[in-house]
Amino acid sequence: MNDKQRKAMFANMNKEKGVSVKSSSSDEKFNKRLSHKGEPNEINVRELQLFIESDGDLYRQQQEPIMKNLDRKRKNGTYSQKGAEVAYLNLVENGSRKYNKEIGSPSDTFSKADKVQVAKEMARENEREYEISRRDEPDYNPAKVKQLSNPPNR
């Protein structure tokens, strides 16, 4: 499932629930922030993602508030996938700085493409976790969760 298909699927799911997804000039701002040249290095992407996920300070200080904020935006009907990716990009950039500081690298180890890829994967994972957490709700539809649990095409 590519990004266009995923976006269409979430738009349909939100439309069924009566949630309007914000789409405006802010999408252009998000696109500019998420744009990059080159291809991500899968090894670097995985290493950075594991570092961020295993760092307790980053989780407590940034990742938890991001998840709570995105949940609140979903409930208010102002959730934007691009906005989620940008929020995670801030976390990823701070994680990259912390990684370089701990390793002792004088330059940035990870490219912009690596960072954007990690942010997109973390935003997708947050989507999956949100859908799975909805299982206790009365309007739960397991078919929607099965669609989300399929790994993305790369």
Domain boundaries, the chain: 39-149
User: What is the per-residue pLDDT across 26-80, written as a single tens digit (0 to 9) for each?
Assistant: 555 555 555 656 788 899 899 999 999 999 999 999 999 999 999 999 888 898 8
Residue 94 clears pLDDT 90, i.e. is over it: yes
pLDDT above 90 as % of the chain:
40
Distance of alpha carbon 27 from alpha carbon 5, whole angstroms: 18
Other residues' Cβ atoms within 10 Å of the Cβ of residue 104: 6
> 96-105, 118-127, 143-152 — which is least confidently predicted?
143-152
Greatest C-alpha distance within the chain: 53
Other residues' Cβ atoms within 10 Å of the Cβ of residue 9: 14
Distance of alpha carbon 17 from alpha carbon 120, whole angstroms: 24
Mean local confidence (pLDDT), 77-95: 92
Q: Please state whether the predicted TM-score (pTM) of the whole model is above 0.95.
A: no
pLDDT above 70 as % of the chain:
65
Whole-number pLDDT of residue 125:
93
Whole-number pLDDT of residue 148:
46
Q: Residue 108: what residue type?
A: D
Whole-number pLDDT of residue 37:
64
Q: Contacts by 22-25 with C-beta closer than 8 Å and gap 24+?
A: 22/78, 22/79, 22/80, 22/83, 23/80
Whole-number pLDDT of residue 28:
59
Residue 153 clears pLDDT 90, i.e. is over it: no
